[in-house]
Amino acid sequence: MTMNRIIALMALLTFAAFIGIIAFRVRALDLTIISIIGVGLASWDFWRQLFSRKS
């Protein structure tokens, strides 16, 4: 269970780094805003799954 969470966190950080590189290299305002929204939604989903109570 803990290993799955670590792998999921690594995947989230890799995704954020990939999107961050694209957003900061291109330096377009609309791309930066969409990138922040995308990483925010992925982070929210990770956070929600991390603390979900499974029966």
Q: Where are the domains of the chain?
A: 2-50
* Tokens encoding 23: 């957003």
- Per-residue pLDDT 10s for the chain (55 aa) are 689 889 999 999 999 999 999 999 999 999 999 999 999 999 999 999 887 766 4
pLDDT at 15: 97
3-state secondary structure the chain: CHHHHHHHHHHHHHHHHHHHHHHHHHCCHHHHHHHHHHHHHHHHHHHHHHCCCCC
Q: Cα–chain-centroid distance for residue 48?
A: 12
Rounded to two decimals, the pTM is 0.83
Inter-helix orientation angle 2-26/29-50, to 10°: 170
pLDDT at 51: 79
